[in-house]
Amino acid sequence: MSSGNGRELDEVRGIEGGFKAAYARDTKEAVEAFDRLRDFAIGLIYLNVTAEHELDAKALIVSIGDIGKITAAQSMEIASVAASRALGDIAVEAVSQRRDTLAIKAASVLGSLSRELAARGMDMAAKDAAESLGKFGAISARMGVENQITLSEIYLMQLVRKAMEESLSETGIIAVASLGVVGEASVEYKFEESAIGASILLEEIGIAAVREKHEPEAKTVINAFEKLSKASSMHGMKSLLFQAAWSVETIRVLAVDMGMNAIARTAKLTLESVKAAGELDEEQTLEKIQEIKKFHRKIMEKS
């Protein structure tokens, strides 16, 4: 038997073992299976790029996601944490090695699993998924892969919305903070459109949080804007400062209207540090923001 055939047999056995452990509610075996499948997938990332290796790696990624959804349905939270971490590790390793199709596949499966975890009320596992998505987005910025930055932003926004829907405040807070971290990384590595994209999504989350009276998430959004604006000022991104100021003011006005006085006060204080210094072509900036919003809508429709 060739080494390739032996590897493939081990992969098949690993997948079968993972499904068996999930259905049997065997947490220890499921965690070990996720670790093995992660190692198999990462090993393939470092092999020569061939159609066979690509297909094998994608099959492993999809299997981890499928098994993870079973562990979620079985209320196996520790095993579900292992699933999200495995996918996060693969996504990060793939983007670090510029295996972009595998990075996108792993992030997509992780994004889908994260929403499933939140829908099942699994706060610990969903928080872990949020952190993994944030790390993936930040490393994508460092590696200069803009479309993957955008994917991480979209998946984090979707996770926040699902977390608020399910009243998982801790997951919502971590996901918002992770989105802010991705925005800051985009600023640091000069991806202005991705940074503005993160700001637009933070605004949408903030508006939803205020309307639905999710105060912790709304406060975290405002804190994220404050950090994002400081990074923007440091790197001279005036368009982003304008967007951040606009977003915080929008949230402040809505908070006043909704009687969320603490949020309104926090937004007012933050607005003072967010406002852009100097003159800015507002018309040009608004056009850029609208273009980015359209781009995000297209991505969300596909995800």
What the block records as the tokens of 180 is 């802010």
CB atoms within 10 A of CB 141: 27
pTM of the model: 0.87
Q: What is the pLDDT along the chain (303 residues), one digit of tens a residue?
A: 345 667 788 889 999 999 999 999 999 999 999 999 999 999 999 998 888 999 999 999 999 999 999 999 999 999 999 999 999 999 999 999 999 999 999 999 999 999 999 999 999 999 999 999 999 999 999 999 999 999 999 999 999 999 999 999 999 999 999 999 999 999 999 998 889 889 999 999 999 999 999 999 999 999 999 999 888 888 888 778 888 888 888 899 999 999 999 999 999 888 877 764 334 445 544 555 455 555 445 545 555
Q: What is the 3-state secondary structure (H, E, C) of the chain?
A: CCHHHHHHHHHHHHHHHHHHHHHCCCHHHHHHHHHHHHHHHHHHHCCCCCHHHHHHHHHHHHHHHHHHHHHHHCCCHHHHHHHHHHHHHHHHHHHHCCCHHHHHHHHHHHHHHHHHHHHCCCHHHHHHHHHHHHHHHHHHHHHCCHHHHHHHHHHHHHHHHHHHHCCCHHHHHHHHHHHHHHHHHHHHCCCHHHHHHHHHHHHHHHHHHHHCCCHHHHHHHHHHHHHHHHHHHHHCCHHHHHHHHHHHHHHHHHHHHCCCHHHHHHHHHHHHHHCCCCCCCHHHHHHHHHHHHHHHHHHHHHC
Sequence-distant (6+) residues with CB within 8 A of 237 are 187, 192, 195
Residue 20 to residue 29: CA distance in whole angstroms: 9
- In the chain, what are the domain boundaries? 1-120, 145-303
Sequence-distant (6+) residues with CB within 8 A of 198 are 153, 179, 180, 182, 183, 186, 228
